[in-house]
Amino acid sequence: NSVAAAFDNIKTHCDHLDTVVFAAGVLKGAFKTIDELTEADWDATLDTNLKGTFLSAKYAAPLLIAAKASVLMIISSGAGVFGGSSSYAYAASKGGQYGIHFKLEQELSPHGVRLHVICPGGIATPLKLKNVAQGAVAAGRDPEEAIRKAGLGDPKGIAKVLAFLASEDGSYVRGTIRTR
């Protein structure tokens, strides 16, 4: 599979791997009731968000353990962990990432791997902007106005959090990080 190939490539071309961020995410089936949600949307979302996390962890773990001191960060979502998602599939996949984090922490932390699951709130990513616009249209509101009023955070803020967690300065931080 492509995830295994990517990590084989890293193993071949890099001395070590000390930081990994799992940040893939799709949102299918937004604003659909449970009986409207298709199995195809469910599968596509869980394949990318949850299975992708599993496969990435499977192939990254040996490299992170070999580094002796490393960091694994999973971008989940506040919507999937604390509620408020517009999609059953997205909520389930992001909640699943949150759960995988605990098992990975149990297995990998004794080997010097620091683990974090980052649960952003509303961040102005293309995925979130599209989701806010879709919600506004579904509610009969102006999408541009909805985006302006959504109070979305800047993705650069999340990047700064990730950089801190990956740094030596972040070495005393563990676990769930909830952001704006």
Q: Is-contact 53 103, C-beta < 8 A?
A: no
Rounded Cα distance between 5 and 58, Å, is 12
Rounded Cα distance between 68 and 110, Å, is 10
**Cβ contacts of 27 within 8 Å, gap of 6 or more:** 45, 86, 87, 89, 90, 127, 131
Look at residue 151 and give its three-state secondary structure: coil
Active-site option among 59, 88, 90, 98: 90
Rounded Cα distance between 178 and 124, Å, is 16
Task: Look up 90 and say whether it is catalytic.
Answer: yes
The catalytic site residues sit at: 90
